[in-house]
Amino acid sequence: MTTPVLRVRNVRKNFGDHAALDDVSLDVHEGEVVVIIGPSGSGKSTLVRCVHQLESIDGGAIYLDDELLGYERRGAGLRPLTARRVAAQRRRMSMVFQQFNLLPHMTVLRNVTEAPVRVHRRDRTEARTEALELLDQVGLRDRADHYPRQLSGGQQQRVAIARAVATHPRITLFDEPTSALDPELVGEVLGVMRQLAEDGMTMIVVTHEMAFARDVADRCVFMEAGRIVESGPPAEMFGNPQTPRLRAFLARHNATMEGVS
Amino acid sequence: MTTPTAAPADDVATARRRVRPWRWAAGIVLAVVVAQIAWFLIGNSRFQWDVVGGYLFDSSVLAGLGTTVLLAVVAMAIGSLVGGLLAAAQLSDFAPLRWAATAYIGVFRGIPPLVQLIFWFNLAYLLPRLSIGIPFGPVFASWDANVVITPLTAAIIGLSLVESAYLAEIIRAGLLSVDSGQRDAARAMGLTPGQTFVRVVLPQAMRTILPPAGSQFISVLKGTALVSVIAMADLLHSVQVIYNRTYQIVPMLIVACLWYLAVVTVLTIGQRRLERHFSRGHGGRA
């Protein structure tokens, strides 16, 4: 078996006295789609934010392609990297946020080309051509010259996905990408993500969309109280949950879904 | 289904405009006030408009105007630079930097600018020699403070210190107004801290910074009038020199007022333009 793209090893993260992540370990292989589910406050978002080094970790280690993230070995011990070198490591990953976080003062096209041009020093016209292709793929080529605020939430999130993949990341992290959307806009975003998964993108997706987890995930991870409680192929997780906690979570979830319909 | 009774069809488009008596009253009062002011300005011969016209483009007045604008621009430039650094220090997670910035702002915002100007002008009393060297160590170069501290340097130092303290607060508020998700997004895109600041945080902070910073520019421009007390040849000082000779106090003050108003008007127009530039992507549809 090849080495994983991402290795999370015994990671701990505390917010004050509260353990947001408690001894979390996870491998993600090339082309794999890992979907993380679990109740609110279980540490799912914290985990992907720690992977992308938007939060520091208090213990354990995270490796991207066997490179330790955020620290370097100096003599016998580890030393934190400078912000510039952390930025260099982040360039090989991308993230899609719950609140989209498009840059409001730049057009849609500039949002997509900004990182390739400024960070990856790609040729401007080449980056532009590729950005327009990506916008075409997410169905928004005709909105290239609009500003983010002129788009609906679903459109903004599709732009954010185009922005994330424009840098050819080794892995793309999705932090509840549909949670801030009106229900009728969720489908268009999930559709784009489904397409990326089929194209072989390596992804971690934090979501409450159980149908997406069941259909698209290669592997599903259930977190609760900062720990990974259960993980495995989605068919087994949803069909035959092993732990009482996952059973309870799925039962609660089904109940609310029925309540909605 | 029954047809509605044959009442006349209502259509609000046919409604007549409402009569608003209070607006009429306010309009008449305003018209009377404007007429009175105009009559006062034109009819009162003591304004001596011919003298105003004669001195408006006088070379010493224009030189004073130049000094005033130069002082305001330099104070604003130095003040923005130092104010930016102070704002960064205040937002630092290194506590001593925060304390230092807070103390600086407290002192230079707390003492009246007039007092500071006189103080800096008299710096030579406190420090007869100004020198560059290693603290408590050897001195590389030194100058006589009486030579270095001219009215110009005292004015620049005094106005810049006051400006930097005010602008620090304005810039800090601007930086805090940028949503934290924007910093997350910039970092997630792999931008360095410097790029994050220049390309993402600052352009968005400018929307919040510009309106109060524009007012601040206007108030420093007017504040330069204070430097006339340390014999700096600014706009006010240049008209004072003339009326001390001719005793035409009111017309000469009118000359100064007209120039202050002209420059402030130009600044206000420039500010509006800048505000429009930095509000790209906000507000109405493009």
Q: What average pLDDT does range B132-144 have in this prediction?
A: 83
- B-chain CB neighbours of A148 within 8 Å are 281
Tens of pLDDT, residue by residue over B226-242, are: 998 888 889 999 999 99
Confidence band of B2 (pLDDT split at 50, 70, 90): low
Q: What average pLDDT does range B258-269 have in this prediction?
A: 95
CB distance from A56 to chain B under 8 Å? Answer: no
CB distance from A146 to chain B under 8 Å? Answer: yes
Q: What is the pLDDT of residue B125?
A: 84
CB distance from A118 to chain B under 8 Å? Answer: yes
B129 or B264: which leads in pLDDT: B264
| pLDDT score of B286 more than 60 | no
Q: How far is CA B122 from CA A255, B125, B203, B230, in A?
A: 80, 6, 41, 10
Using a 10 angstrom Cβ sphere, with 0-12 exposed, 13-18 middle and 19 or more buried, the burial of residue A17 is exposed
Q: What CA–CA distance (Å, rounded) separates B266 from B261? A: 9
Å from A78 to nearest chain B CA? 22
Tens of pLDDT, residue by residue over B14-25, are: 888 888 999 999
Using a 10 angstrom Cβ sphere, with 0-12 exposed, 13-18 middle and 19 or more buried, the burial of residue B155 is buried
B282 or A41: which leads in pLDDT: A41
Q: What CA–CA distance (Å, rounded) separates B31 from B27? A: 6
Which structure tokens are listed for B213?
């910073």
Q: What average pLDDT does range B186-196 have in this prediction?
A: 92
Beta bridge partners of B130: B143
Confidence band of B283 (pLDDT split at 50, 70, 90): low
Cβ-nearest to B181 among A83, A97, A147: A97
- A-chain CB neighbours of B179 within 8 Å are 101
Query: What φ, ψ does residue A60 adopt, rounded to 5°?
Result: 80, -165
- B-chain CB neighbours of A103 within 8 Å are 182, 185-186, 200
Å from B101 to nearest chain A CA? 24
The parts of chain A modelled with pLDDT lower than 70 are 1, 257-261
CB distance from B147 to chain A under 8 Å? Answer: no
Q: What is the pLDDT of residue B285?
A: 40
Residue closest to A6 by CA, chosen among A216, A227, A207, A221: A221
CA within 13 Å, CB half, B259: 28
Provide the strand spans (E) within chain A.
6-15, 18-28, 33-37, 59-64, 67-68, 71-74, 77-80, 93-96, 171-175, 203-206, 219-224, 227-232
- A-chain CB neighbours of B286 within 8 Å are 146-147, 150
Tens of pLDDT, residue by residue over B78-102, are: 999 999 999 999 999 899 999 999 9
Contact indicator for A212, A35 with CB cutoff of 8 Å = yes
Complex confidence, ipTM:
0.88
